């Protein structure tokens, strides 16, 4: 990094649209039980046989908490008694739930999501909202959705559906589309074709009692609710009528409500619009990724002791390399220089379709004293980072870029237009 890169541009413009994902674990309790059994040496994946999660089978009032797809084919339903399930499928396999295990799997999922953003709302034990508005860089929300889905499958052993949208409501509705192991979008322009055709009972927050009343108004689909007079709905349902009308029209201004929990690692990656062979161009992208990762590190007032980079070739082969640092760092310069060094050990002139950086072994800034070797040059870059961070917080992450990042943005924009 040279002095000519110590310049930045501020772009004016309207506030960015929210970039929201909803992560929903497919058949969570049964999937998590299946993962535990496989890890313990069992040969049969209970997701592939008629199986349910329930209580003590000696208790005729124990209910079905989760069911496999083969069990569903026998007409077994969540909430019915195990006794009823047995009558439908005498050979059904019944497994006890383990809530300690479920909490662990839920936390493992959460830790992966924390690598992408701290703005995560744990909606339930098996559902999370993610706000990636400030953390996409030049990548796209749909790319992140596929990346996260695949990582969860490969690293944790279970599948999720991911809803992609510009607000929480539409993201949640999208994640409920075809299952399992799918990514679905639901943007405003897609509401008429993807949401309005669904039964009114599929709309979030519309219960059985509301459906009975809605049927007296001739309502059958979500689109019917959207087209009703809002004041009529308010008169008949009160405040809930207003909510129903807004939801049916895709209106939701609620924020992702999150706790400030410090991550164990921070990462960012980008799936490239076209494969890249040239290491110099890959280094330019590493600079932009280093800035994003450093921004989050500094926001949490943390330092990293390990830096890892990963590349994926056009043959979908993944290569990674990491380096343990002599001192803990959080400046963009330090992260970038190490990442660049690691890339040189991995690059083999094969076309690259994904590149990413992850920092690990994180500690609080207070845990480390100022290095005796902290030079004026380092102080200059630390000051630059502080200025850049404040400008990004004020104007929006993508509105402020270094010269090097600007070059990357232009390169990626050109490629995306082809």
271 and 388, same domain (yes or no): yes
pLDDT reading at 7 higher than 80 = no
CATH code at position 355 = 3.30.1490.100
Confidence band of 1 (pLDDT split at 50, 70, 90): very low
Question: Of 205, 223, 248, which closes a domain?
Answer: 248
pLDDT at 258: 86
Share of the chain above pLDDT 70, in %: 83
Give the count of beta carbons closer than 10 Å to the beta carbon of residue 159. 18
Distance of CA 319 to the CA centre of its chain: 22
Task: Kindly state whether residues 209 and 289 are assigned to the same domain.
Answer: no
Task: Please state, as a whole number, how many other Cβ atoms lie within 10 Å of the Cβ of residue 82.
Answer: 23
The mean pLDDT of the chain is 85
Same domain, 244 and 267: no
Task: Specify if 116 maps to a domain.
Answer: no
List CB contacts of 1: < 8 A, sequence separation 6 or more. 287, 333, 336, 337, 381, 404
Q: Does position 152 have pLDDT exceeding 90, yes or no?
A: yes
Q: In this structure, are 244 and 273 located in the same domain?
A: no
Cross-strand partners of 159: none
Range(s) of the domain holding residue 228:
196-248
Domain boundary among 68, 100, 132: 100
Is residue 114 one of the residues assigned to a domain? no
| Within a domain: 230 | yes
Q: How confident is the model at residue 415 (pLDDT cuts 50, 70, 90)?
A: very low
The pLDDT of residue 401 is 57
Task: Decide if 254 is inside a domain.
Answer: no
Same domain, 243 and 356: no
Instruction: Note the pLDDT tens digit of each residue in 55-76.
Output: 766 655 588 999 999 999 999 9
pLDDT at 339 over 70: yes
Answer yes or no: is pLDDT of 352 > 60.
yes
Predicted confidence band of residue 418 (pLDDT cuts 50, 70, 90): very low
pTM value is 0.74
Please check whether residues 223 and 328 belong to one and the same domain. no
Confidence label for 94 from pLDDT (cuts 50, 70 and 90): very high
The larger pLDDT score, comparing residue 417 to residue 164, is at 164
* Together in a domain, 287 and 362: yes
pLDDT in the model for residue 2: 39
Round to whole Å and give the CA distance between 332 and 304: 12
The fraction of the chain above a pLDDT of 90, given in percent, is: 59
- The model's confidence at residue 317, banded by pLDDT at 50, 70 and 90, is confident
Is residue 187 pLDDT above 90, yes or no? yes
pLDDT one-digit tens code per residue, 24-35: 999 999 999 999
Residue 267 and residue 304 share a domain: yes
Q: What is the dihedral of CA 405, 304, 19, 260, to 10 degrees?
A: -140
Mean pLDDT of 369-390: 58
Is the pLDDT confidence value at 5 over 90? no
- pLDDT band of residue 259 (cuts 50, 70, 90) is confident
386: helix, strand or coil: helix
Q: What is the CATH number of the domain that holds 85?
A: 3.40.1170.60
Question: Domain boundary at 100, 127, 155, which?
Answer: 100
127 in active site: yes
Q: HSE on the CB side for 146, CA within 13 Å? A: 8
What's the pLDDT score for residue 350?
85
pLDDT at 386: 67
pLDDT average, residue stretch 113-141: 90
175 φ/ψ angles, rounded to the nearest 5 degrees: -70, -15
Q: How far apart are CA 352 and CA 318, in angstroms?
A: 10
- Residue 39 pLDDT > 90, yes or no? yes
- For β-strands 51-54 and 93-96, DSSP reports them as parallel
Residue-by-residue DSSP string for 40-89: TT-SS-GGGSSEEEES-TTSTT-BEEEE-HHHHTTT--TTSBHHHHHHH-
pLDDT at 8: 38
Residue from 311, 316, 306, 307 nearest 281 by CA: 311
276 and 397 housed in the same domain: yes
Mark whether 271 and 214 lie in a shared domain: no
User: Catalytic pick from 115, 118, 121, 127?
Assistant: 127
Q: Does residue 314 lie within any of the structural domains? A: yes
Domain CATH code at residue 228: 1.10.150.20
> What does the pLDDT average to over 341-368?
88
253 or 397, greater pLDDT: 253
Q: 268 and 410: one domain?
A: yes
Number of domains in the chain: 3
| 179 found inside a domain | no
């Amino acid at each position: 990094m040279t002095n000519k890169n110590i310049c930045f541009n501020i772009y004016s413009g309207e506030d960015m649209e929210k970039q929201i994902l909803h992560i929903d674990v497919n058949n969570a309790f049964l999937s998590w039980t299946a993962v535990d059994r496989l890890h313990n040496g069992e040969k049969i994946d209970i997701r592939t046989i008629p199986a349910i999660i329930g209580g003590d089978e000696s208790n005729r009032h124990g209910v079905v908490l989760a069911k496999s797809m083969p069990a569903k084919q026998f007409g077994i339903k969540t909430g019915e008694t195990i006794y009823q399930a047995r009558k439908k499928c005498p050979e059904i396999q019944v497994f006890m739930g383990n809530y300690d295990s479920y909490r662990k799997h839920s936390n493992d999922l959460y830790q992966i999501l924390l690598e992408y953003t701290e703005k995560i709302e744990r909606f339930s034990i098996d559902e999370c909202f993610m706000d990636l508005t400030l953390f996409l860089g030049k990548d796209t929300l749909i790319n992140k959705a596929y990346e996260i889905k695949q990582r969860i499958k490969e690293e944790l052993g279970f599948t999720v559906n991911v809803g992609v949208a510009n607000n929480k409501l539409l993201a949640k509705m999208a994640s409920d589309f075809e299952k399992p192991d799918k990514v679905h979008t639901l943007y405003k322009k897609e509401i008429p074709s993807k949401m309005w055709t669904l039964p009114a009972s599929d709309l979030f927050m519309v219960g059985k009692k509301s459906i009975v009343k809605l049927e007296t108004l001739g309502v059958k689909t979500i689109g019917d609710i959207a087209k009703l007079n809002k004041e009529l709905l308010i008169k008949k349902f009160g405040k809930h009528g207003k909510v129903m009308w807004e939801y049916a029209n895709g209106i939701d201004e609620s924020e992702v409500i999150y706790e400030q929990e410090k991550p164990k690692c921070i990462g960012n990656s980008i799936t490239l619009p076209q494969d890249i062979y040239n290491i110099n161009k890959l280094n330019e992208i590493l600079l932009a990724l280093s800035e994003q990762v450093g921004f989050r590190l500094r926001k949490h007032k943390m330092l990293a002791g390990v830096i890892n980079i990963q590349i994926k070739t056009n043959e979908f082969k993944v290569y990674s390399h990491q380096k343990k640092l002599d001192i803990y760092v959080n400046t963009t310069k330090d992260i970038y220089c190490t990442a660049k060094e690691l890339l040189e050990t991995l690059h083999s002139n094969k076309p690259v379709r994904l590149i990413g950086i992850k920092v690990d072994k994180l500690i609080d800034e207070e845990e480390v004293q100022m290095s005796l070797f902290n030079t004026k040059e380092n102080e200059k870059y630390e000051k630059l980072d502080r200025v850049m961070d404040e400008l990004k917080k004020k104007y929006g992450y993508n509105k402020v870029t270094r010269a090097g990042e600007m070059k990357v943005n232009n390169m990626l924009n050109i490629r995306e237009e082809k």
